């Protein structure tokens, strides 16, 4: 006999969660869950996936240089781009007018 919220472990460790719990916690087919090791057992909880966008050094340099709004910030941005090992003159970006 299975407890009211119990699950049976099948082949390859697959666990079928009761429909009531899946509905309550928004877990549908294809959803991701996190399995955390706890002193008293395993905690399963819905996972939140966040997309992470990776930028190339050139994209970061373009953003830094294009964000300069005055002479001081332009000089600072160019210095940062040089620290990144890039030549600010070779990065295509919006160039604010020099003061």
Q: Which domain range does residue 65 map to?
A: 51-99
Q: What is the pLDDT of residues 27-49, one digit of tens each?
A: 999 999 999 999 999 999 999 88
- pTM, 2 dp: 0.47
39, 80: one domain? no
3 state SS for the chain? CCCCCCCCECHHHCECCCHHHHHHCCCCCCCCEEEEEECCEEEEEECCCCCCCCCCHHHHHHHHHHCCCCHHHHHHHHHHHHHCCCCHHHCCCCCCCCC
Q: What are 40's two structure tokens? A: 């008293």
Band (pLDDT 50/70/90 cuts) for residue 2 is: low
pLDDT tens-digit readout, 47-98:
988 888 899 999 999 999 988 888 899 899 999 999 999 999 998 887 766 6
Q: What is the pLDDT of residue 92?
A: 85
Same domain, 37 and 56: no
65 and 94 housed in the same domain: yes
Instruction: Count other C-beta atoms under 10 Å from residue 76's C-beta.
Output: 13
Q: How far apart are CA 46 and CA 66, in angstroms?
A: 40
């Amino acid at each position: 006999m299975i407890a009211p919220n119990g699950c049976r472990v099948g082949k390859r460790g697959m666990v079928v969660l009761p429909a009531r719990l899946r509905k309550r916690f928004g877990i549908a087919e294809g959803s991701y869950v996190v399995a955390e090791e706890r002193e008293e057992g395993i905690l399963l909880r819905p996972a939140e996936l966040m997309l992470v966008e990776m930028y190339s050094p050139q994209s970061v340099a373009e953003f830094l240089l294009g964000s300069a709004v005055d002479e001081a910030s332009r000089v600072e941005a160019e210095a940062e781009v040089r620290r990144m090992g890039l030549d600010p003159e070779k990065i295509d970006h919006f160039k604010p007018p020099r003061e």
